[in-house]
Structure 1
Amino acid sequence: MTADVTRLAGARLVLPGGVVEDGRLAFSGTTISEIGGEGAPGELDLTGYTVVPGFVDLHVHGGGGASYASGSAEEALTAARTHLEHGTTTTIASTVTGEIDEVCRQAAVLSELVEDGVLAGVHFEGPFISPGRCGAHRPDLLRDPDPALVRKLVDAARGTARMVTLAPELPGGLESVRMLADLGVIAAVGHTDSDYAKALEAIEAGATVATHLFNAMPGIQHRAPGPIVALLEDERVTVELINDGVHLHPSVLDLAYGTAGAGRVALITDAMGAAGMGDGLYPLGPLQVRVQDGVARLVEGDSIAGSTLTLDVAFQRSVLVNKLSLAQTVQSVSTTPAALLGLAGTTGSLTVGHHADLAILDSQTYDLVAVVRRGEWIKGAERFSRAV
């Protein structure tokens, strides 16, 4: 049986080769089947809207009042669905620092959702991080990155571990980076007190990601450039940035783009359970977080505790506040993170044969209005009229 074809017309399409006005795109089953072509009866009129590939989030802890660190498949499904409704069609589940055995249990639950196609993998953030840069992680549960312990977490994810954040200056840090690289798991430098030289050593050992660059690491000083400069200047490293207007001043984000370029920037949310919700109290692993005016901080200590960001807002801010081009923004919110995860052949661009993962935005305000994942309308289909 041939799958039904859905045809979109009149849209601005952000394609790998550039932006096309008044474009046409069709999807059949779960994949994009055609870009361009002639008009056809029954196509949906998307005049005034912009179609971009669905967003890819490398670093997210929860949403919709739910947490990936809960150990509950139901909560994980809620978190994934919340971000899906905000345009994130490919998502990694990030854990937080906890007892090793408990994090292993969480990973086992999350791995089943990866196998079911709900999630794209598991990211372990903690416990192998610096006590001096732990942020919203419980200091008493932190551990040195002993390769055996790091391997225990990776093995608990049953082949679904995609990234481990660690502080390379800690005992076992560089050995663990090498081990992760050998296993095909991304080693990310983050929550670190490393200096410039140690960050370079980590990169040479195989680290390829900077976990939320600028946040939870030493700042740049003129005689002590620290890890930020090392991570920004090396073309092998993809840098995560949180564009919520809280974690980074817009000029700092501009600096990162000017140094690394859109091809090495992955916009992330680092969202916790309050994403998609209102102010209030929320758990973040074993800690309590208070969200006030959309800003998440620990109840004890007042540290920023992740974000309430969704990637549609990050996209909108990138275009309207930072004045990035549509092509640059799509690169950072879809193409670059998809490639980092090894998904460039199916995900991250509007390409025939790729998954029909679409985010549809108002062309003036860049508000998200509709989402398609694997050819299924998640929301917004009723907004568009059909051509006769």
Structure 2
Amino acid sequence: MIVTARDWNDGRWIEVEVVDGAIARVEALDPARPASPDDPFIAPAFWDIQTNGRWGHSFSSSDLTVEQVVDIVRAQRNLGAGRICPTLITAPPEHTLHGLRTIAQACDENPDVDRMVVGIHLEGPFLSEKTGYRGTHPAECMRDPDWSLFEKFQEASGGRVVLMTLAPEREGSAEFIRRAVAAGIAISLGHTATDADALAAAVDAGATLSTHLGNGIVAELPRHPNPIWLQAAEDRLYASLIADGHHLGPAALRVFARAKGWNRLILVSDAGWLAGLPAGNYGAWDVDPSGKIVLAGTPYLAGSALGLEVGLRVLDAVEPAFPRPLLDTVTTNPARLLKRPEPRLAVGEPAEFVLLRRPAPGGLTLERTCIGGEWFERAD
């Protein structure tokens, strides 16, 4: 396979040759070759560190199957993603344990799935149980950080938990964070009513991310201080954002991008278990034709049905920065957060890349994705 496109680093035309699923050659072409707004760009495949399920199946479900995990993970290739963190939200411990064991089994039995799963993200159960802050997480399953429970989760996952979201105001959070970070787990803060002291203690203990900053929070807050501004102002925290056009407005996206800087922004899909299904009612949930998922009959968001392509397009319309650093928000930055090698287009690297077009700010589209030397066409 030989691919000719413009390099995501500097916009120069390059030729990339793939042999046996790996990049065998990267060659710069004539620098005088003309460029146009509709030229294809090549970049590493996306990383999505927060995706909860698809097609009516949740990674947190008590009846999750290996086949469902395999299908959900492989479906990400049509969305531009080459590495993901299956995300389990708050649930009864036995449900979480089942989900973790099932994901682990799917990875053990399918090398391609194991390669795509960079690790598992636990979003709970050590979150705020307060109305608004908890979002759609069940309050009755919330609890203070418990290292022995986490060890059970990690054992069930086969050591695959690499990211955990918690509320730093819960009793024992700082000590839990220290132990988790020492064990190589990245800690994120989210679904939290934190004050300045609890936030500072968590970051001092090693927390490095804010989960979907600006969401998972009550609708009305004190003007200042409040958990949003406290986290936005903390330079030691990355921020993950759901830029699907529903969870955050243009002004909030622009403020967060400027407060954090491009090297500390990470886009996530937060794709819900209803992602990929037609618009309509699904019991307690509605999937809107625009792609948002809400509690039925309310405006309250419950995850997204859209992929990272949409987030990149929306953020690019608000704060144009293509190709880099915009594309770093779904490649370099999440890899750096998880202390993994940064994805590159270089000889010897796996053939995991996307082809994109971006004729104008806010006009970015995913063309197709190469994973393991095989092409996957874009899916909505």
Q: TM-score, normalised by structure 1?
A: 0.85
Map of 1:194 onto structure 2: 194
Cα pair distance change 1:34/1:225, threshold 3 Å: farther
Indicate which of 2, 10, 19 corresponds to 2:11: 19
Per-residue deviation, residues 144-196 of structure 1 (Å, max 9, x unmatched): 22222233222321210011111111122222211211111111111011112
Map of 1:66 onto structure 2: 57
- 1:213 Cα deviation (Å)? 0.7
What secondary structure is seen at the aligned counterpart in 2 of 1:27?
strand
What secondary structure is seen at the aligned counterpart in 2 of 1:192?
coil
CA RMSD of aligned residues (A): 2.3
Indicate which of 95, 100, 106 corresponds to 1:107: 100
**Following the alignment from structure 1 to structure 2, what is the Cα–Cα distance between the partners of residues 52 and 276?**
25
Per-residue deviation, residues 326-352 of structure 1 (Å, max 9, x unmatched): 20211101111122223225x3x3233
In structure 1, stretches of 5+ residues that fail to align are 1-5, 40-46, 381-388
Match runs of 1:262-281 below 5 Å: 262-281=262-281
Code of the residue aligned with 1:27 in structure 2: it is V
Cα pair distance change 1:281/1:202, threshold 3 Å: same
Map of 2:320 onto structure 1: 323
**Following the alignment from structure 1 to structure 2, what is the Cα–Cα distance between the partners of residues 273 and 311?**
16
What secondary structure is seen at the aligned counterpart in 2 of 1:80?
helix
Per-residue deviation, residues 13-54 of structure 1 (Å, max 9, x unmatched): 202xx222x322222223222222469xxxxxxx83121211
Indicate which of 356, 370, 373 corresponds to 1:361: 356
Code of the residue aligned with 1:57 in structure 2: it is D
Map of 2:172 onto structure 1: 172
Cα pair distance change 1:302/1:91, threshold 3 Å: same
Map of 1:352 onto structure 2: 347
State whether residues 135 and 217 of structure 2, in contact with CA within 8 Å, keep that contact through their aligned partners in structure 1.
Answer: no
**Following the alignment from structure 1 to structure 2, what is the Cα–Cα distance between the partners of residues 249 and 302?**
15
Cα pair distance change 1:259/1:302, threshold 3 Å: closer
Code of the residue aligned with 1:74 in structure 2: it is E
Indicate which of 116, 121, 126 corresponds to 1:123: 121
Map of 2:35 onto structure 1: none
Per-residue deviation, residues 91-145 of structure 1 (Å, max 9, x unmatched): 1100111111220111111123344324221111122110111101112222222
**Following the alignment from structure 1 to structure 2, what is the Cα–Cα distance between the partners of residues 217 and 28?**
48
Code of the residue aligned with 2:15 in structure 1: it is R
What secondary structure is seen at the aligned counterpart in 1 of 2:232?
helix
Map of 2:19 onto structure 1: 28
What secondary structure is seen at the aligned counterpart in 2 of 1:92?
strand
What secondary structure is seen at the aligned counterpart in 2 of 1:36?
strand
Match runs of 1:154-233 below 5 Å: 154-217=154-217, 224-233=224-233
* Identical amino acids, percent of aligned pairs: 28
Code of the residue aligned with 1:69 in structure 2: it is S
Indicate which of 269, 288, 300 corresponds to 1:292: 288
**Following the alignment from structure 2 to structure 1, what is the Cα–Cα distance between the partners of residues 206 and 356?**
37
Q: TM-score, normalised by structure 2?
A: 0.87
Map of 1:7 onto structure 2: 2
Cα pair distance change 1:64/1:151, threshold 3 Å: same
Indicate which of 340, 343, 348 corresponds to 2:340: 343
Match runs of 1:76-115 below 5 Å: 76-115=69-108
What secondary structure is seen at the aligned counterpart in 2 of 1:251?
helix
**Following the alignment from structure 2 to structure 1, what is the Cα–Cα distance between the partners of residues 326 and 221?**
25
Task: Indicate the larger mover: 91-100 or 359-368.
Answer: 359-368
**Following the alignment from structure 1 to structure 2, what is the Cα–Cα distance between the partners of residues 300 and 164?**
31
State whether residues 48 and 85 of structure 2, in contact with CA within 8 Å, keep that contact through their aligned partners in structure 1.
Answer: yes
State whether residues 357 and 374 of structure 1, in contact with CA within 8 Å, keep that contact through their aligned partners in structure 2.
Answer: yes
**Following the alignment from structure 2 to structure 1, what is the Cα–Cα distance between the partners of residues 73 and 308?**
13
Cα pair distance change 1:31/1:297, threshold 3 Å: same
In structure 2, stretches of 5+ residues that fail to align are 31-37
What secondary structure is seen at the aligned counterpart in 2 of 1:59?
strand
Code of the residue aligned with 2:288 in structure 1: it is Q
Confirm or deny that 1:75 pairs with 2:68. yes
What secondary structure is seen at the aligned counterpart in 1 of 2:350?
coil
**Following the alignment from structure 1 to structure 2, what is the Cα–Cα distance between the partners of residues 141 and 301?**
23
Per-residue deviation, residues 320-379 of structure 1 (Å, max 9, x unmatched): 34323320211101111122223225x3x3233322111112342422121101222223
